[in-house]
Structure 1
Amino acid sequence: MHAIRLHAFGPAENLSYEPAEDPEPGPGQVRIAVTAAGVHLLDTAIRSGIQGPLPELPALPTIPGREVAGTVESLGEGVANLWLGKRVVAHLGFSPGGYAELAVTDVDRLHEIPGNLDSAQAVAMIGTGRTTMGILQFAELGPDSVAVIPAAAGGIGTLLVQYAKQAGATVIGLAGGPEKVARVEKNGADLAVDYKDPSWPDQVRHFLGDRAATIVFDGVGGDTAREAVALLDNPGDTRTDAPRGKHLVFGWSGEGLHNGTPLIVEGVTEQVLGPVMMQKAGGPNPIRTLELRALAEAAEGRLTPAVQRFPLAEAAAAHRALETRGTIGKVVLEP
């Protein structure tokens, strides 16, 4: 097979497209002929040598990537024959190996891909989609809601806009540059504004009139988040009888994935990633619970992920585009 290998931590150029040994499925595992592999911002940090939330950095050389979709083409010992030939999607957890023509994973991680989704869409929902479902557990959206969504042209932002609109909320989408703003508008936002324009908060206030935002979905942090939180009703007012909005924090990509810190505003901020999200999902396997919810939303047509596709051989270009905010939606590599 061919795969993307990383021989030394560093810039995107260190990702090399080259022949690699076919992986063999062990007991309880399957081998997938990969048709789509997800690229996550965390992948760029690991490639740079930043450990982040991982228990440890992978040993080098390594094949990056932790989200794959394709067809099961080989079974390990103890795996039922019914999986052979099925279209599946899986998150590989902390195990790398996704940027390749073949990938191995435990059968317990598999989901059969609904017939109306292609592989790239399935990959988007198994990673970005499950995170979106986790975030939405903390949001109560309805016709009285005014949702502000920074990075609204991104993978999570695209899904949040769709979900909030279906709930009847007024949706304000923020994006960087005219092309992304147009995409957010087309995705259904009531107002789409360019956060690179210093006047964007005034544009939002003019649009809302005497209303205030009720919730900010914050995955970016920094100045954009501060301006967005200022649109909430009485941000930072800790009086128990004060009307207030909600600031849901699930990342701070605008500050650098691991160099920044989340914006915390007393009385309105709630951090929703990690154990908090898993505890809220509940059940014996909360991650799988969220994955199933995400795939069901897409299968039933309520959510449609945005996908930007790159050939597998151009993984370095995909990483550069993601790091410079030059992408729209979920980034996917296709062998």
Structure 2
Amino acid sequence: MHAIRLHAFGPAENLVHERTEDPAPGPGQVRIAVAAAGVHLLDTVLREGMQGPLPAPTELPTIPGREVAGTVDALGEGTDPDWLGRKVVVHLGTAPGGYAELAVADAARLHAIPAGLDEAEAVAMIGTGRTAMGILQFTDLGPDDIAIVPAAAGGIGTLLVQHAKNAGGYVVGLAGGPEKVARVAANGADLAVDYNQDNWATQVRDHLGGRRATVVFDSVGGVTARAAVDLLGKGGKHIVFGWSGEGLHNGSPLTFTAEELAERGITSEGVLGPVMLRKAGGDIRVLEERSLAEAASGRLRPAIQRFPLAEAAAAHHALETRATMGKVVLIP
């Protein structure tokens, strides 16, 4: 098979498209003929050899990637034969191997792809979608809400905008540059604003006409997040799930002291990791199933930017320079 392999930690150019041995499924596993492989921002951190929510690989070369969708073409010993030939999507967990024409996964992790979804859409929802579902556990949006979504043209931001609109809320979507702003407006945001403009917060404040935001979905941190939080009213929520705004690899989250929160009359909560899993009852599959169901029903529509598998380095570079819109997916 062909795969993307990383022989040495470093820049995106270290991702090499080459031929390697076909993997074989072990007991309780399946092999998947990959039709779509998800690219996550975390992949760029691991490629550099840096520690993130997951440890960097200890053995090189490695095949990156932890989200795949395709057709089961081989079974390991003891695996349910009903999986053979089925279209499936799976998050591989901590094990890499997704950037390839063939990938091995534990059968217990598999989901059948719902009718109406293609493989690229399914792979977007198994990772990015499940995170969006996890974030939304921490707020119950309704018609009285005004939500601010920084990075609204990204994979998660796109889904948060759609969910907030489905709930009847008013949505302010922030994005960098005219093309992304146009995409956010087309996605349904009531107001789409370019956060590269120095006066963007004033534009939002003037547009709201005295109303105050009720929730900020913060994945950027830094000065953009602080300006967004300044638009919150009493009782507002600052929900943190990233801090990429001032450098993908070295950004910092926006934090507040208890005294600052009390003075503002708001809450601020980080929602990634164990806290998100506990909220889902300790079962990440709950979020995956909910995500896939939302997409299959048409309530959520993932935005996808496709790259050929051989151009994985270009996909990483585009992510790192904020040149992408939606979920980045590799197509073998």
The bucket for the TM-score relative to the shorter chain is over 0.9
Q: CA RMSD in A?
A: 0.9
- Partner-residue secondary structure (3-state), 1:70: strand
Match of 1:324 among 309, 314, 321: 321
Match in the other structure for 2:277: 278
How many correspondences in the alignment? 324
Letter matched to residue 155 of structure 1: G
Question: Partner residue of 1:300?
Answer: 297
Residue aligning to 1:333: 330
- 2:72 counterpart letter in structure 1: V
* 1:258-304 deviation line (CA, Å, top 9, x unaligned): 52321113432111111110010105xx2111000000000111000
Structure 1 letter corresponding to 2:33:
A
| From 262, 268, 272, the counterpart of 2:253 | 262
Q: Which residue of 2 aligns with 1:177?
A: 177
> Which has the higher mean CA deviation after the structures are superposed, 264-273 or 141-150?
264-273
Contact 1:51–1:57 (Cα < 8 Å) also in 2: no
**Residue 61 (structure 1) aligns with:** 61
Matches of 2:78 and 2:58, distance apart in 1:
28
Residue of structure 2 equivalent to 1:310: 307
Q: Report if the CA contact (8 A) 2:72-2:87 is conserved.
A: yes
1:190-269 correspondence runs (5 A): 190-233=190-233, 243-265=234-256, 266=258, 267=261, 268-269=267-268
CA distance in 1, matches of 2:245, 2:48: 17
Structure 1 CA distance, aligned partners of 2:285 and 2:105? 15
Structure 1 segment 113-152 matched on structure 2, within 5 A:
113-152=113-152
8 Å CA contact retained: 2:244, 2:252: no
Q: CA deviation at 1:54?
A: 1.6
Partners of 2:140 and 2:213 in 1: CA distance = 13
Structure-2 separation of matches of 1:54 and 1:90? 18
Q: Which residue of 2 aligns with 1:42?
A: 42
Q: Deviations over 1:110-147 (max 9, x none)?
A: 00001200101000000000000000000121111000
The one-letter code of the counterpart of 2:309 is L
Q: Contact conserved, 2:46 with 2:56, CA < 8 A, in 1?
A: no
TM-score using structure 1 length: 0.95
- Aligned position for 1:166: 166
Counterparts of 1:295 and 1:53, CA distance in 2? 24
Deviation at 1:39, TM superposition (A): 0.3
Worse-matched range after superposition: 265-274 or 60-69: 265-274
Rate the CA distance shift 1:125–1:226 in 2: closer, same or farther, 3 A: same
> Aligned partners of 1:92, 1:58: CA distance in 2, in Å?
17
1: distance between equivalents of 2:58 and 2:211?
49
Contact 1:218 1:247 in 2 (8 A): yes
Q: Determine the structure 1 residue equivalent to 2:264.
A: none
What amino acid is the match of 2:252? T
Is 1:289 aligned to residue 280 of structure 2? no
Instruction: Tell me how far apart the structure 1 counterparts of residues 285 and 308 of structure 2 sit (CA, whole Å).
Output: 28
What is the rounded CA distance, in whole Å, between the counterparts of 1:9 and 1:56 in structure 2? 9
Counterpart of 1:211, as a letter, is R
SS in 2 for 1:127: helix
Letter in 1 for 2:302: P
Residue 275 of structure 2 aligns with an amino acid whose one-letter code is: V
1:56 offset after TM fit, Å?
Answer: 4.5
Report if the CA contact (8 A) 1:248-1:272 is conserved. yes
Other-structure match for 1:85: 85
Q: Distance in 2 between matches of 1:140 and 1:209?
A: 24
- CA distance in 2 between counterparts of 1:58 and 1:299 reads 38
Asked if the contact 1:50–1:57 (Cα under 8 Å) also holds between the matched residues in 2, the reply is no
Report if the CA contact (8 A) 1:9-1:49 is conserved: yes
Task: Note if contact 1:153-1:184 (Cα within 8 Å) is conserved in structure 2.
Answer: yes
Identity %: 73
Name 1:236's counterpart in structure 2. none
5 Å-filtered alignment, 1:14-53, equals 14-53=14-53
**TM, length-normalised to structure 2:** 0.96
